[in-house]
Structure 1
Amino acid sequence: MERAAGGTRPAVHGRGVDAEGRCTHYGGTRDVVGNLCVTCGKYWACHRCHAEACDHPFGRAPLDAPAVVCGVCGHLMNYPEYSATAACPACGHGFNPGCSLHAHLYFRL
């Protein structure tokens, strides 16, 4: 898809989030994506971070929405683009294949 407007990368929220979007719950080298909660409009490192900080359920995104941000380069992706590869199509950084187990929490599948 593209980078956020103005070339800025969306902030990834969560507990103990580092510069590439890893949180205290998921800190592996490939845990570098933020997922958009359509309810609050923020990108979160993981569903657990969101649950700890918010008083609403995680708002799952439509499949065509730019709902995933690469924490390494800031590239925005929709679900088909994100799920089609094991790495960011813009910078090539690998993504955690285990994230697919949580897709139903983040997207309207």
Structure 2
Amino acid sequence: MRLYVQDEKDGKKIYLNYKVRNRGELQRIVGSEKFKLNGNVYKVNAVRAEMDNNSFKVAAGIGSLIGVLGGVPGVLAGALIGGVVGGAQLETEKKNVESFNASN
């Protein structure tokens, strides 16, 4: 999950380098309900979360490795395992994003 705020001037996303589960944790880390970033002041409630596609890439990498090591049967097994692991990771990531965005 990646956290971001939208720049007030151009609307572009500015990503934050924090790993938290909800806005309460984020507020404890930054020490206030407001924080300064790139010369602008943002409220913790303005922070949004989105899915990070790296979870799927890791699962695909695992599946590819199994495939390379196992030949044709390995390719089939790797695709199956990669799909299962990737699907589970994506579902977990989706729930984490929804939970963060619903938090106060």
* TM-score, structure 1 normalization: 0.30
Larger radius of gyration: 2
Q: Which has the higher helix share?
A: 2
* TM-score, structure 2 normalization: 0.31
